[in-house]
Amino acid sequence: MKSTGLNFRHLYFFWIVAKEGSITKGAERLGLAIQTVSTQIGLLEQAIGKSLLAPQGRRLALTEAGRIALGYADRIFLLGEQMQEALADTDLGQTMRLSVGISDSLPKLIASRLLQAALQLPQRVKLVCHEDRFETLLGDLSVHKLDVVLTDRPVHSGTTLRVFSHLLGESEITLFGVPELATRYRKGFPASLQGAPLLLPTRNNAIRGRIDHWFDNHGIRPDIAGEFDDNALLNTFGRNGLGLFPAPSVLSADVEREFGAQPVGELKEVREQFYAISNERKIKHPAVDAILSAIDGQTFAGDQPP
């Protein structure tokens, strides 16, 4: 007999027990009798028609069905906590909340510029920013933990996730270095880059393949001194003088100010693109719509914010 609905109280008891590893510890955390908790979990298993927990020594182990259920329960109760946090906001009604995922490969100075349009709305916007890997952020976006993801690549056309890519802009790429390195390698650029120490994004990063292709086309073999998933970490090592590093040309003044680095030369025809990924083809969140409306499809030019 199929259940007519899921009892979230029963699911919550299962979630706590699964986290604690035993009904005894789960009951202690819940402040309930062991028998009560055990009965509630039994009712949940009866409702879904599958065992979720199985004895394993003195502990309980998750069955395959239990592992699946725990994954969904994690998301359900995390969203519940976020809802309580959002509704408890004393500025609710006067403040618009914008949860943004920022890909670890996206230059943070670019992310800041992209968000300026949202912050200039008449209504106060409260930003909640999360940085992570591209794939992780897409998963969070698909379950509505995020309003938008800012990244350096579009979503692959073969994805099963119902998300949409919006091109925000693009910029050419320049190599930067601390003054000593910039002075040494600027003369005779790009031939001077033969054997030059270089800090690059890993091959998981969208721009890496274009940079490698540029070096191949010019017959130049630099010395790859470091590869980084995280753009901020790459910039930190660049600031410490470990090697030359790439950054969007539009950020030249920011890179010099923030990292004490100077331009060495531009990688002609290498361009980095910036995207907003959303759950809807037609944006409904006013702050996300403001970002897209302000700079949709434009090329960043000069040193002024887009």
The CATH number linked to 197 is: 3.40.190.290
Give percent above pLDDT 90 in the chain: 41
In terms of domains, do 198 and 246 share one? yes
Residue 306 lies in a domain: no
Q: Which of 168, 162, 159 is nearest to 279 (CA)?
A: 162
In 3-state terms, what secondary structure has residue 188? coil
Q: Tell me, what's the pLDDT at 241? A: 95
- Residue range 127-139: average pLDDT? 89
Cα Rg of the chain, angstroms: 25
Model confidence, pTM: 0.65
94-128 confidence digits (pLDDT tens): 678 888 999 988 888 888 888 887 888 888 888 88
- Residue range 248-269: average pLDDT? 93
163-199 confidence digits (pLDDT tens): 889 888 889 999 999 999 999 999 999 999 999 999 9
User: Who contacts 97 (Cβ-Cβ below 8 Å, separation ≥6)?
Assistant: 86, 89, 125, 126, 128
49-96 confidence digits (pLDDT tens): 999 988 887 778 899 999 999 888 888 888 777 777 666 665 555 678
Count the domains in the chain: 3
**Alpha-carbon distances, residue 91 vs 87, 125, 143, 146, 288 (angstroms):** 9, 10, 25, 20, 20
In terms of domains, do 180 and 227 share one? yes
Domain boundaries, position 129 = 95-165+274-299
- Residue range 207-229: average pLDDT? 95
241-256 confidence digits (pLDDT tens): 999 999 999 899 999 9
Q: Tell me, what's the pLDDT at 56? A: 81
In terms of domains, do 261 and 285 share one? no
**CA-to-CA distance for 155 and 142, rounded, in angstroms?**
12
Residue 243 lies in a domain: yes
Q: Which of 59, 31, 26, 56 is nearest to 41 (CA)?
A: 26
Among 87, 112, 145, identify where a domain stops. 87
Among 46, 69, 87, identify where a domain stops. 87
In terms of domains, do 158 and 278 share one? yes
Residue 68 lies in a domain: yes
Q: Tell me, what's the pLDDT at 125? A: 84
pLDDT over 60 (residue 162): yes
In this structure, the number of other CB atoms found within 10 A of the CB of residue 206 comes to: 19
